[in-house]
Structure formats: C-alpha cells, structure tokens
Amino acid sequence: MSLAEKYPQEIQKIFAKYPPEQKRSAVMPLLYLAQREEGFITKGAMEEIAGMLGIKVTEVAEIVGFYTLYHDEKAGKYRMQVCTDLPCALRGADKFIEELCGNLGVKVGETTEDGLVTVEAVMCLAACDKAPMLQTQGSDGINYHENMTVDKTLELIEALKKSVA
C-alpha cells in the first residue's frame, strides 16, 4: 500500500504547510512519515515521495543518506549511533566504538545477534566536548548519552533489553 493510500490526511496536512511552488520543502516530513512504521525508508517510498514532489529519486536518497535520522535499511530495535568525527575521535571515539563492537560481537554497521542494537558510526552529533557520545534511536525516541565508557554503554544496552522484554 502506498503512502498516499495509507496517510492521505497526514500528507495533505504536510503539503498545506508549504506554498505549491515550494512543495519540495515537504521532503523531510514525508520521509519521516515513510519511516515511521518500519524504522527505515524503502526505495519504493523514496520513489513515491520523489513523484509527489516532482524531484528526482536521487535527490530524495541524498537527503536520506545525509541525515542520521533517516535510514534506508532495516536495523535492530535500537540504532546506537556513535559520533566518530575528528573532534570526537580526538577524545577517544574510535577506540570506544571498536571496543564496544568487540564486546557486542559485531562490526560497525551490524546488528547484535538478538536483534536489539545496530551500532553505527555517524558524523557530528553536536557534543564534541562530551565525547565519546552516542544517540540511541528506538521506540522511545532519540536519546543522547554523553561522556560514555564501554561499561556504561553495556549497562545501557542491558536496560534496553529489559525495557523490551
């Protein structure tokens, strides 16, 4: 079922916020709508959004690829996104993510065997002075965790396990 068939009123409300000649500005709220159910945006949804806005699919895909809040593939119940840009790397983010993945038995970009956590490296979560830091994205929204250690992160994961049990 298409987005237009599933969410006609919501799409209408989104388009009402923008002048008709600027309808391409609705791309981000439409992407959020497309991602809401599955936790990621399918190629079909990107194509449909591009068609609604009169833009190329590659333009929609560029936005999905750029922003850390949009995803084009399925992942664990929680995405654990660790900032690894240069300022964070200088504060130990690279070593942190390597050790975290080692403890979880995954590589960056992979999901834990239980399907709970996907560990991702991202650029700039705007907390360089509090690195290593990460954000979790899941059913409880987006949560930021600063000045993390591997032990504190493993405790966080245990708490997440209990919350979904």
Mean pLDDT, contiguous 10-residue spans, the chain (165 residues):
93 95 95 87 96 96 91 91 94 96 96 95 91 90 94 96 85
User: What domains can be seen in the chain, in order of their start residue?
Assistant: 3-66 (1.10.10.1590), 78-164 (3.40.30.10)
pLDDT of residue 23: 93
* Token duo for residue 137: 């994205």
Sheet strands (E) in 7-158: 78-83, 117-122, 134-138, 141-145
Instruction: Check residue 43 and give its pLDDT.
Output: 95
Give pLDDT, residue 63.
Answer: 96
DSSP string, 124-135: --S-GGG-S-EE
pLDDT on residue 36: 84
For the purposes of burial, counting CB atoms within 10 Å of the CB of 128, is it exposed (0-12), middle (13-18) or buried (19 or more)? Answer: middle
The 117-122 sheet, strands edge to edge: 117-122, 78-83, 134-138, 141-145
The alpha carbon of 44 is separated from its chain's Cα centroid by a whole number of angstroms, namely: 18
Residue given tokens 């059913």 in the structure block: 139
What is the pLDDT at residue 134?
A: 96
Tokens of 45: 């949804």
pTM for this model (two decimals): 0.75
Q: What is the pLDDT of residue 68?
A: 80
